[in-house]
């Protein structure tokens, strides 16, 4: 793909000029941060041309557009990724080298935008990349949080949170678009008016409002000149705080509006798989949803006029229930502003909105107290009442006399607004994110809805972008893949990876493959040395678990097993043992006490083991501070083993599992989420599977759980490890530090069953899988083959495949092509 701005001389000149105009400096005097800015602005100029060309093409072709509505977009750094997708990475690297600048150092200057918690937010970012790459018109719609996911520091083994002021040096890639601002209203009351024709009008009065100001981010497609837009909203007070309002007695109002604007976009709620239910969060939701839908309608009407045709050109995908007020907001606009009747408005709305579910964890299901909801969003609440009234009527008609059904399915029940129910009733599609997850939704969690409207339910197994997680994260492997396949087609068609199977029996190729892994392990070892001060041996097995910290993800199982291994090594110093490095990375939500105890435990175990000379470095434990997209890229590339050990049925899909697989790390995991499909692709012999099945877990849960004492009393190794939580071994003699963890494993506590996540139940089977993995690793050739097989079989897990399925089954978008010859640079 050609872009004249990446001609070396042109690019170098642009960088030099940028350093001058931005900082009044010569390149030689500029700081790395200033160079990052100067380089990024030069890249942005190249992007802008394609961004304009894309808008023109869309204007001409008038394709149907998806609005991907999400509270979170976990983008990661943009510079490297943009260069890759502009197919200019290597040229720019060279051009900068000639100027004495190292691109890697420059890339490291970019703050890592973390407008998301974990899987759900990162999925949204991968989807935008794939939409642009496949040539589909799309907008990401979200919030421009002033502070993203907190920075994690580890102090004395404990997690400490520091604010993530990611915008402090400005952001070269964003574009402020005040001309597209929209007003968003909260609170007040609704006055009913009748006009001369007898028609009813609903007027909101005494409300507070804020101005939503959009910031646009370019989303660069790979090698196709398409640049889509991520539009995230900032909030500003409607009237800037003015002194004269003091005189008018509006002082309080003026201050309030300022505060409202400031608070709404201040910070991302740092919860993963848990809903806090705070009023401010609902404000955030309505804020970005209302602004986005208003903007979409304005754009549509400008071009098409006739609002009844909206479903032909627009679809709103709701990333989990967080944007579900979209349904009612669209109804509000159609009813109150477009003056449509209820049936017509409902017909349009239910053809435009679709919903993705990402979890079955009860604590993540969104429910809002009616009093809070109706006070904050009075008109939206009225509309939901009417949606609910009509829906309940339908349930009664279909299941006469079955008031149980009504109770289970109503949107408004027990003083709550149930957002998932609203999303299902109003959505034309409801999808899960992996086969197993969708089956559980259909047969357990959402069974009543599935029975009533089976046609809405479908599965879309998640995927990841190979542009970031292979090309950018692992350039050595990316080049090797291209060489072995003799083509770069895998970059936009990951199914081509299966061509690597030809090399499975080629000793030389396997050696090269493992040499690349080794170099990546050295790169990670250097990072760990620099950031943790711990020496790890790149020849040891890198066994990695990186993801958010949550009990269901069972980092506790992993660290208990490390404690068990340590006991074994101490007791049988002669036993055969391949050196292992256990690597963890995880943030805990700030208020999630038990998750924080687990982080402390991991660090305490690391302290004891890493400082025990008697074990000759056979075992090391590392907790990588501040796990985020940028260091994740180093970690996936360097992993030997991918730990995916959630309690079966709890992890909807997982996407980290796919990133490890792509980079040649076999899965050690349960039959949960997309692990099931990974095993389908790679074969059971190329993974290390253990533990209860989802059916078994669900069965235990429905029958009151199991008794962990049966295991504790009969398995001395397990008992010893559990007892070590309360005998001071890992707490400098303090017997209380981990008492809560100990209790969580053995005793029922309030509503929570003992060992809710089946850690002791799965322990033996986990230890066995670990032992099998170690045995397999000892056989170098066999291991290399297994690792390569994983890379070769990752084709299904591209987000490109996922997006194509969304397009075919749900969105029905039109494919857009930009003809390079027609570009006017």
Q: Please list the active-site residues.
A: 358, 547-548, 553, 655, 659
Q: Which of 642, 655, 663, 724 binds ligand F58 (CB under 6 A)?
A: 655
DSSP state at residue 172: T
Of 243, 220, 212, give the one whose Cα is nearest residue 79. Answer: 220
Query: CB-based contacts of 624: which residues, under 8 Å, 6+ apart?
Result: 528, 531, 532, 546, 583, 584, 585, 631, 635
Cβ-based neighbour number of residue 179 at 10 Å: 7
Positive or negative torsion for Cα 80, 81, 84, 85: negative
- Whole-number minimum distance, CB 275 to ligand F58, in Å? 5
Q: Which of 76, 80, 113, 118 binds ligand F58 (CB under 6 A)?
A: 118
- Whole-number minimum distance, CB 271 to ligand F58, in Å? 5
Label residues 365-391 b or e (16+ Cβ within 10 Å = b): bbbbebeebbebbbbbbbbbbebbeeb
Query: CB-based contacts of 6: which residues, under 8 Å, 6+ apart?
Result: 46, 86, 88, 91, 92
Which stretch, 43-51, 100-108, 174-182, 652-660, contacts ligand F58 (CB under 6 A)? Answer: 652-660
Q: CB-wise, 118 or 691, nearer to ligand F58?
A: 118
Q: Which of 76, 80, 113, 119 binds ligand F58 (CB under 6 A)?
A: 119
Label residues 296-334 b or e (16+ Cβ within 10 Å = b): bbebbeeeeeebeebbebbbbbbbbbbbbbbbbbbbbbb
- Whole-number minimum distance, CB 276 to ligand F58, in Å? 8
- Whole-number minimum distance, CB 436 to ligand F58, in Å? 11
Helix and strand numbers, DSSP H then E, in the chain: 33, 23
Q: CB-wise, 86 or 115, nearer to ligand F58?
A: 115
Beta pairing, strands 158-162 & 541-546: unpaired
Q: Which of 272, 388, 633, 681 binds ligand F58 (CB under 6 A)?
A: 272
**CA 365 to each of CA 67, 441, 588: distance values in angstroms, whole numbers, following the listed order:** 23, 13, 19
| CA–CA separation, 159 and 149 (whole Å) | 14
Place of tokens 């360097």: 638
597 binds ligand F58 per the rule CB under 6 A? no
Which stretch, 169-177, 356-364, 525-533, 790-798, contacts ligand F58 (CB under 6 A)? Answer: 356-364
E strands, 129-282, where? 138-143, 151-155, 158-162, 175-176, 182-186, 189-194, 200-205, 208-220, 227-237
- Whole-number minimum distance, CB 741 to ligand F58, in Å? 22
User: 282 near 372, Cβ under 8 Å?
Assistant: yes
Which stretch, 111-119, 175-183, 302-310, 595-603, contacts ligand F58 (CB under 6 A)? Answer: 111-119
Q: CB-wise, 313 or 421, nearer to ligand F58?
A: 421
Q: CB-wise, 437 or 521, nearer to ligand F58?
A: 437
| CA–CA separation, 300 and 305 (whole Å) | 7
142 binds ligand F58 per the rule CB under 6 A? no
426 binds ligand F58 per the rule CB under 6 A? no
Q: CB-wise, 257 or 663, nearer to ligand F58?
A: 663
547 binds ligand F58 per the rule CB under 6 A? no
| CA–CA separation, 340 and 20 (whole Å) | 56
- Whole-number minimum distance, CB 272 to ligand F58, in Å? 4
| CA–CA separation, 134 and 129 (whole Å) | 9
271 binds ligand F58 per the rule CB under 6 A? yes
652 binds ligand F58 per the rule CB under 6 A? yes
- Whole-number minimum distance, CB 672 to ligand F58, in Å? 9
User: 224 near 135, Cβ under 8 Å?
Assistant: yes
673 binds ligand F58 per the rule CB under 6 A? yes
Which stretch, 57-65, 98-106, 273-281, 519-527, contacts ligand F58 (CB under 6 A)? Answer: 273-281
State phi, psi for 753 to the nearest 5 degrees: -70, 150
Q: CB-wise, 257 or 462, nearer to ligand F58?
A: 462
Q: CB-wise, 267 or 652, nearer to ligand F58?
A: 652
432 binds ligand F58 per the rule CB under 6 A? no
Residue with the CB atom nearest ligand F58 in the bound state: 119
Two structure tokens written together for 354: 């679709």
Q: Which of 159, 438, 610, 653 binds ligand F58 (CB under 6 A)?
A: 653
| CA–CA separation, 146 and 142 (whole Å) | 13
Taking CB under 6 A as the criterion, which residues in 187-226 touch ligand F58?
none
- Whole-number minimum distance, CB 358 to ligand F58, in Å? 4
Q: CB-wise, 222 or 269, nearer to ligand F58?
A: 269
Q: Which of 112, 651, 677, 755 binds ligand F58 (CB under 6 A)?
A: 651
Which stretch, 227-235, 252-260, 357-365, 703-711, contacts ligand F58 (CB under 6 A)? Answer: 357-365
Q: CB-wise, 364 or 500, nearer to ligand F58?
A: 364
Which stretch, 18-26, 181-189, 297-305, 650-658, contacts ligand F58 (CB under 6 A)? Answer: 650-658
Q: CB-wise, 433 or 557, nearer to ligand F58?
A: 433
Positive or negative torsion for Cα 396, 402, 404, 408: negative
Taking CB under 6 A as the criterion, which residues in 438-477 touch ligand F58?
462
796 binds ligand F58 per the rule CB under 6 A? no
The stretches of 413-554 forming alpha helices (DSSP H) are 419-426, 435-440, 447-452, 466, 475-485, 507-532
Q: CB-wise, 171 or 670, nearer to ligand F58?
A: 670
| CA–CA separation, 725 and 738 (whole Å) | 5
358 binds ligand F58 per the rule CB under 6 A? yes
120 binds ligand F58 per the rule CB under 6 A? yes
275 binds ligand F58 per the rule CB under 6 A? yes
Report residue 746 CA to chain centroid gap: 33
| CA–CA separation, 139 and 813 (whole Å) | 13
654 binds ligand F58 per the rule CB under 6 A? yes
Of 348, 354, 210, 216, give the one whose Cα is nearest residue 291. Answer: 210
How far separated are the first and last CA of the chain, in Å rounded? 13
| CA–CA separation, 100 and 382 (whole Å) | 63
- Whole-number minimum distance, CB 281 to ligand F58, in Å? 9
Two structure tokens written together for 36: 């990052």
- Whole-number minimum distance, CB 764 to ligand F58, in Å? 26
Helix (H, G, I), strand (E, B) or coil at 184: strand
433 binds ligand F58 per the rule CB under 6 A? yes
| CA–CA separation, 366 and 549 (whole Å) | 20
244 class by beta-carbon count within 10 Å (0-12 exposed, 13-18 middle, 19+ buried): exposed
Q: CB-wise, 428 or 552, nearer to ligand F58?
A: 552
- Whole-number minimum distance, CB 480 to ligand F58, in Å? 28
65 binds ligand F58 per the rule CB under 6 A? no
Which stretch, 358-366, 489-497, 572-580, 808-816, contacts ligand F58 (CB under 6 A)? Answer: 358-366
Total number of residues binding ligand F58 (CB under 6 A)? 21
- Whole-number minimum distance, CB 414 to ligand F58, in Å? 21
- Whole-number minimum distance, CB 301 to ligand F58, in Å? 32
Q: CB-wise, 117 or 290, nearer to ligand F58?
A: 117
228 binds ligand F58 per the rule CB under 6 A? no
User: 88 near 6, Cβ under 8 Å?
Assistant: yes
Which stretch, 113-121, 197-205, 467-475, 728-736, contacts ligand F58 (CB under 6 A)? Answer: 113-121
Residues that bind ligand F58 (CB under 6 A): 117-120, 123, 271-275, 358-359, 364, 433, 462, 651-655, 673
């Amino acid at each position: 793909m050609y872009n004249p701005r990446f001609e070396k001389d042109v690019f170098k000149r642009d960088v030099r000029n940028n350093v001058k105009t931005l900082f009044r400096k010569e390149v030689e005097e500029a700081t790395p941060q200033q160079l990052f800015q100067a380089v990024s602005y030069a890249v942005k100029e190249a992007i802008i041309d394609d961004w304009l060309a894309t808008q023109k093409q869309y204007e001409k072709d008038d394709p149907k557009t998806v609005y991907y509505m999400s509270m979170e977009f976990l983008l990661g750094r943009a510079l490297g990724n943009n260069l890759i997708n502009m197919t200019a990475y290597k040229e720019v690297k060279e051009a900068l080298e000639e100027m004495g600048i190292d691109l890697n150092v420059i890339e490291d200057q970019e703050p890592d935008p973390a407008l998301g918690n974990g899987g759900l937010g990162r999925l949204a970012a991968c989807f935008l990349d794939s939409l642009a790459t496949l040539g589909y018109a799309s907008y990401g719609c979200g919030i421009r949080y002033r502070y993203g996911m907190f920075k994690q520091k580890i102090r004395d083994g404990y997690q400490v949170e520091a604010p993530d002021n990611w915008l402090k040096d400005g952001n070269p890639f964003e574009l402020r678009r005040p001309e597209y601002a929209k007003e968003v209203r909260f609170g007040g009351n609704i006055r009913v008016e009748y006009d001369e024709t007898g028609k009813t009008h609903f007027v909101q009065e005494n409300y507070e409002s804020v101005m939503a100001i959009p910031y646009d981010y370019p989303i660069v497609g790979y090698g196709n000149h398409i640049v889509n837009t991520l539009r995230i909203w900032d909030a500003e007070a409607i009237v800037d705080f003015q002194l004269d309002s003091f005189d008018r007695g509006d002082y309080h109002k003026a201050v309030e509006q300022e505060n409202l604007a400031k608070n709404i976009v201040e910070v991302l709620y740092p919860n993963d798989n848990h809903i806090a239910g705070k009023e401010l969060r609902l404000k955030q939701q309505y804020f970005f949803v209302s602004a986005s839908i208003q903007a979409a309608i304005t754009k549509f009407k400008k071009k098409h006029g006739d609002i009844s045709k909206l479903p032909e050109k627009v679809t709103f995908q709701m990333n989990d229930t967080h944007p579900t007020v979209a349904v009612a907001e669209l109804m509000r606009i159609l009813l109150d502003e477009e003056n449509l009747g209820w049936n017509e408005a409902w017909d349009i709305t239910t053809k435009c909105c679709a919903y993705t579910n990402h979890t079955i964890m009860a604590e993540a299901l969104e429910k809002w107290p009616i009093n809070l909801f109706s006070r904050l969003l009075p008109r939206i609440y009225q509309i939901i009442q009417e949606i609910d009234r009509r829906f309940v009527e339908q349930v009664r008609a279909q299941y006469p006399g079955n008031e149980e059904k009504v109770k289970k399915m109503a949107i408004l029940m027990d003083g709550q607004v149930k957002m998932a129910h609203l999303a299902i009733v109003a959505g034309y599609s409801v999808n899960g994110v992996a086969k197993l997850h969708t089956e559980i939704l259909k047969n357990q969690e959402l069974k009543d809805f599935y029975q009533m409207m089976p046609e809405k339910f479908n599965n879309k197994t998640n995927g990841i972008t190979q542009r970031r997680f292979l090309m950018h994260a692992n350039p050595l492997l990316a080049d090797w893949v291209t060489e072995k396949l003799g083509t770069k087609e895998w970059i936009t068609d990951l199914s081509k990876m299966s061509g690597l199977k030809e090399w499975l029996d080629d000793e030389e190729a396997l050696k090269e493959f493992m040499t690349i892994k080794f170099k990546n392990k050295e790169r990670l070892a250097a990072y760990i040395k620099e950031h943790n001060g711990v020496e790890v041996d790149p020849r040891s097995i890198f066994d990695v678990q990186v993801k958010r910290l949550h009990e269901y993800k069972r980092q506790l199982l992993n660290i208990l097993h490390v404690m068990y291994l340590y006991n074994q090594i101490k007791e049988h110093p002669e036993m055969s043992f391949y050196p292992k490095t256990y690597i963890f990375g995880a943030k805990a939500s700030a208020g999630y006490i038990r998750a924080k105890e687990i982080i402390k435990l991991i660090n305490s175990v690391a302290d004891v083991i890493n400082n025990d000379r008697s074990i000759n470095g056979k075992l090391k434990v590392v907790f990588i501070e501040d796990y985020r997209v940028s260091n994740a890229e180093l970690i996936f590339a360097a992993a030997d083993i991918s730990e995916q050990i959630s309690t079966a049925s709890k992890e909807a899909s997982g996407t980290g599992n796919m990133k490890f697989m792509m980079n040649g790390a076999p899965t050690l995991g349960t039959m949960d989420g997309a692990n099931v499909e990974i095993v389908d692709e790679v074969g059971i012999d190329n993974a290390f599977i253990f533990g209860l099945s989802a059916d078994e877990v669900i069965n235990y849960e429905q029958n009151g759980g199991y008794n962990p004492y049966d295991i504790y009393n009969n398995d001395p190794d397990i008992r010893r490890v559990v007892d070590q939580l309360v005998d001071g071994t890992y707490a400098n003699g303090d017997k209380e530090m981990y008492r809560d963890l100990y209790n969580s494993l053995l005793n029922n506590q309030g509503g929570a069953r003992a060992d809710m996540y089946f850690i002791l139940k799965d322990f033996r089977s986990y230890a066995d899988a670990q032992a099998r993995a170690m045995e397999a690793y000892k056989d170098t050739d066999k291991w290399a083959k297994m690792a390569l097989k994983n890379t070769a079989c990752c084709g299904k897990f591209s987000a490109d495949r996922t997006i194509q399925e969304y397009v075919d089954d749900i969105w029905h978008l039109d494919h857009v092509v930009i003809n390079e010859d027609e570009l006017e640079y």
